[in-house]
Amino acid sequence: RVEVEELGPGVRRPRVSVLLTVFNHAELAPAALRSVAATEFDGGVEVIAVDDASLDDSVERLRESWAEFPWLSGKLVRRSVNSGLPAAARNLAFEHATGELLFILDADNTVLPLGIAKLTAALDADPEAAFAYGIIEKFDGSGPVGLESWLDWDPHRLRYGNYIDAMAMIRREALEELGCYSTQRALAGWEDYALWLAMAEAGKRGVRLPDFIGRYLISQHSMLSIT
C-alpha cells in the first residue's frame, strides 16, 4: 500500500523535482530536506520524498522538518512494505514528480545552495545532454575523505567501474525512455551505475559541471559502504 501526503503551498509546473529516498534515516533525512529548502534557485522546486517503510521515526522527523520550511512544496509518499531496492523507491518518486528535470538525492546526502541552479544551467547550455553531474565531497565523522563525480563523461571508462554518483540532474524524457531505474535484485546498490551504462548504450551522454554541487556522508550503513 502507498500513501501520499501533499505538503507545502504547491508549485505549478516546477522546473525541478527533487527525488528524496528515505529508509531508516531519521537522523539524516532532515538535513537532506533542509539543504533543498536552502537552495538558491528561482525556477520552481518540489520535493518528492519516498519513505520505504522505515522502522524508525523517519516520517515524523521529515514532517517536523518540512514544517520549518512553509515555502517548500512536495509530497511525502509512504510505502507500507519495504521494497528492498533503492531503485524501486526512486521509481515511485518519479511517478509522483511533475518537474521536467529530476534531481536525485538520497537521505544521507545534501545539496549545496547553488547545486540545483548550476546543474540546471549546465543542461540549459547543452540541450543534447541527458543528464548533468558535478563534484561531490565525500566525508565521514572525521571530515573530508575524498571526491566523487570529478571525471568527465566517458563511456569507455564505465567499462572499468562507476565513477558518477547517483546525485545528478536527469531530464525526465531521458529517464522515461530508458524505463527508469532497473529493479533487478542482482543490481541492488548498483542501480545508478546500471543507469549510466544504459545511457551510454542508448547513445545518450552526460555533462560534468567542474564545480562542487553536494556532499556525501560515508558511514557503515551507506549504500557505498554496503555495496
186-200 pLDDT, tens digit each: 777 889 999 999 999
- pTM comes to 0.92
Name the band, by pLDDT with cuts 50, 70 and 90, for residue 144: confident
Sign of CA dihedral 182, 225, 84, 186: positive
Q: What are the residues facing 135 on neighbouring strands? A: 212
pLDDT tops 80 at residue 10: no
83-108 pLDDT, tens digit each: 777 788 899 999 999 999 999 999 99
User: In whole angstroms, what is the distance from residue 71 CA to residue 79 CA?
Assistant: 25
